[in-house]
Structure 1
Amino acid sequence: MTQTVSNWVRTGTERPFPYVLMYHSVATYARDPYLVTVDPQRFDRQLRWLRRNGLRGVSMRELMQARRTGGGRGLVGLTFDDGYTDFVHNVQPALLKHGCTATVFVIAGRPGGHNAWDADGPRKRLLTSEEIREVADAGMEVGSHGMLHQRMSELDDGELIVEVAESRELLSELTGQDVSGFCYPYGDVDLRVMNTVEAAGYDYACAIWRSPLSSRHALPRTYVGDRDGSLRLLAKRLRHELKIKR
């Protein structure tokens, strides 16, 4: 079933939406055709910019809990899609250095695999089961990015339940923790998909900036890349502030 929804349909009541940054990989690189990689030195400067401006990057779990109690001021959600192994080696040490946490959205059916969905590469290794447990034990949040990194709207109902519900169960068993967040691969979400995610018991779900839906289960996020220095980070922050006031 395909549903067409105009941009920025506001299906939720929790306004304004929190400020959430979307990362993927943090690593040195020679080629990055999909613009998903941030150099570790750049990432460190981006975290320093946040702290210098009175902001602290936190996991979505921490951010949503703070907002429930009327808090959240000065908190910025930090999210990392796909669950690359560089999260352990490059992201986590930088986060701890700056007093931050983050959410890493893991592909539950591909532990220790690679980004096979990126046809042009380069190949990036995904977190192993042991590394996923290590991340959770270090105080980071592990969320679901589905089982196999598929476009959710193209799946039938049975396949969708596997991607959404079974991935949650698998990651909960692996980490020994509740998995409360979902992230839509490719930002692909429609009403059927969003309703399935909510029905599976997720507390929230992350979409992308130009998502056709926006709610607690389709939270818009701001892409951050390797070109984003202080001025671009400021511009993106201001863009978010203007958008949520509409």
Structure 2
Amino acid sequence: MYHSVGSCADDPYRITVSPDRLAEQLRWMRRNRLRGVGVGELLAARAAGGGRGLVGLTFDDGYTDFLSHALPLLRRCGFRATVFVLPGRLGGVNEWDPLGPRKPLLTAEGIREAHAAGMEIASHGLTHIDLTGCDEQLLRAETVGSRTLLSELVRAEVSGFCYPYGTVDARVAAAVRRAGYRYACAIDPGRLSGPFALPRLHIGQQDTPLRMALKRRLHPLRRRAPREEAAPV
């Protein structure tokens, strides 16, 4: 799980990775015979009985620095990724972060450019709000509405969703599935499991190749306890 790629000088939430660090991390993956792909591609490969050596790469929020800094590095390695964007904030900034700094978000054209480059475009909701506190009307707008807008924008099916702030409960997961998505990513979904509560591993500026190796080894241990299946019928 990545967010912004750029200068880390002002980074109160520790969501930024410098281009040099990202390049180092991607090279580590390639040296270890790992290949970065979008989450949809990873899940499809696993469903077909494959997926060995594939790593799902995600970039949350849809910052414009994805195009300028992340995309060239991904292309150099032959990697792909999923970009979770906010169609209700096209060309806006990350107003949900009270401490700043303000970072520009992708425009409609920028999203189409990432899609044309082979990246999976998926939804992060409309406006980046905690969906667990939404009423049903707002929840539908953030899930169904965002999927409709993105599908029209890229002229392709939008299969993935990412819960803003990583917060999810069974009601929200069920709403995401009803909206037509095939999977949804969280951070640590607690007792929920399954394709609508996919856990992810935060990767930051401090993650050297050694830390990447340790995180890769330890991450599966976080999900061994019995869980409740997300989005029940």
Q: TM-score band (shorter)? A: over 0.9
Q: TM-score, normalised by structure 2?
A: 0.94
Q: Does 1:49 align with 2:28?
A: yes
Residue in 2 aligned with 1:163?
A: 142
* Mapped pair 1:98 → 2:77: yes
1:27 paired to 2:9: no
- The answer to whether residue 180 in structure 2 is matched with residue 227 in structure 1 is no
Alignment correspondent of 1:208: 187
Distance 1:240 1:120 in 2: 29
**Residue 39 of structure 2: aligned partner:** 60
> Cα deviation per residue 1:152-207 (whole Å; 9 max; x = unaligned)?
00000010000000100000000011000000000110000000001111010000
- Identity among equivalent positions (%) equals 56
State whether structure 2 residue 124 is matched by structure 1 residue 145.
yes
* Alpha-carbon offset, residue 214 of structure 1: 2.1
What amino acid maps onto 1:185 in structure 2?
P
Match of 2:64 in 1: 85
User: Over residues 29-61 of structure 1, what are the superposed CA-to-partner deviations in whole Å (9 max), with x where a residue is unaligned?
Assistant: 321000000000000000000111111111112
Inter-partner Cα distance in structure 1 for 2:36 and 2:132: 31
Does 1:237 find its partner at 2:216?
yes
Distance 1:70 1:226, change over 3 A: same
In the alignment, structure 1 residue 193 sits paired with structure 2 residue 172: yes
Structure 1's unaligned 5+ residue stretches are 1-21
Partner of 2:86: 107
Q: CA deviation at 1:63?
A: 0.6
Structure-1 separation of matches of 2:220 and 2:172: 27
Aligned AA (2:154): T
Deviation at 1:244, TM superposition (A): 4.5
Match of 1:121 among 100, 110, 118: 100
- Quote the residue 1:184 is aligned against: 163
Question: Once superposed, which parts of structure 1, at least 4 consecutive aligned residues long, lie more than 4 Å away?
Answer: none
CA contact under 8 A between 1:25 and 1:37: conserved in structure 2?
yes
2:229: which partner in 1? Answer: none
Distance 2:195 2:69 in 1: 29
Aligned: 1:74 with 2:53: yes
Q: Using CA pairs below 8 Å that are at least 6 residues apart, which structure has the higher relative contact order? A: 1
- In structure 2, the gaps of 5 or more residues are 226-233
2:168 and 2:189 in contact (8 A); partners too: no
Distance 1:114 1:171, change over 3 A: same
Classify the secondary structure of the residue corresponding to 1:223. Answer: coil
Structure 1 residues 170 and 38 mapped into 2: Cα distance closer, same or farther (>3 Å)? same
SS of corresponding position for 2:87: coil
The Cα shift of 1:210 comes to 5.4
**Deviates further, 153-162 or 210-219:** 210-219
Q: What SS class does the counterpart of residue 222 from structure 1 fall into? A: coil
* Contact 2:167/2:189 (<8 A) preserved: no
